[in-house]
């Protein structure tokens, strides 16, 4: 498994008039696009799937579809009230770290442009490989949906216990 969760939920305007005719017809038919909408918003995944030429993609129109992202994250993490994000090495300061949040979108929010690939998924938890735009290697991050009792128990623990809890989810 190697799913670019943010890439799947990022859309761009695509000028279908800049796409070869045979390709445009296939895209419009398969995606149900009518002739009146020759500049639809398509996901990065769809753009790659149809091999749409870069000159047809308006990079400035890049937009994260938060509703779609939220639904995808809930598919992995379930509808929990609390979430844990735990990294053995933080990409921001080189130290281990974790945080708790109640907003599922905050689990994938980063202060710098970062690709987040889901590498493993189990019911209620995902293991990700995060690769910032300015670093060639990445770090593993665990994102876990928590019950209220797990949240209350972990709230008072130190990093080592929290990291072990995250790692144990995947054993």
Quote the percentage of the chain above a pLDDT of 90: 73
Alpha-helix residue ranges (DSSP H) falling in the chain: 5-8, 21-31, 44-49, 66-77, 148-154, 159-168
Question: Each residue of 43-89: pLDDT tens digit?
Answer: 988 999 999 999 999 999 999 999 999 999 999 999 899 999 998 76
DSSP H/E element including 130? strand 125-132
The CA distance from 40 to 145, in Å, is 34
- Model-level pTM greater than 0.85? no
Using the 8-state DSSP alphabet, how is residue 93 labeled? T
Domain range summary for the chain, segments of one domain joined by +:
3-64, 67-168
Comparing 167 with 135, the larger pLDDT belongs to 167
Residue 60: DSSP 8-state: E
Contact yes or no for 169/122 (Cβ under 8 A): yes
- Using alpha carbons, list the distances in angstroms from residue 140 to 18, 101, 118: 39, 19, 10
Residues 134-162, mean pLDDT to the nearest whole number: 91
């Amino acid at each position: 498994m190697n799913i670019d969760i943010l890439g799947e939920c990022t859309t761009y305007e695509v000028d279908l008039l800049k796409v070869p005719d045979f390709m445009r017809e296939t895209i419009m038919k398969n995606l149900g696009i009518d002739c009146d909408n020759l500049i639809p918003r398509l996901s990065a995944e769809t753009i790659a799937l149809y091999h749409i030429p870069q000159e047809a993609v308006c990079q400035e129109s890049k937009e994260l579809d938060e509703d779609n992202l939220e639904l995808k994250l809930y598919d992995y993490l379930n509808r929990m009230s609390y979430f844990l994000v735990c990294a053995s090495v933080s990409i921001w300061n080189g130290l281990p770290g974790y945080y708790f949040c109640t907003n599922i979108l905050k689990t994938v929010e980063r202060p710098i442009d970062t690709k987040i690939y889901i590498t493993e998924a189990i019911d209620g938890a995902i293991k990700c490989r995060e690769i910032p735009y300015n670093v060639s290697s990445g770090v593993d991050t665990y994102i876990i949906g928590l019950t209220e009792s797990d949240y209350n128990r972990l709230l008072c623990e130190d990093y080592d216990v929290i990291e072990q809890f995250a790692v144990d989810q995947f054993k």
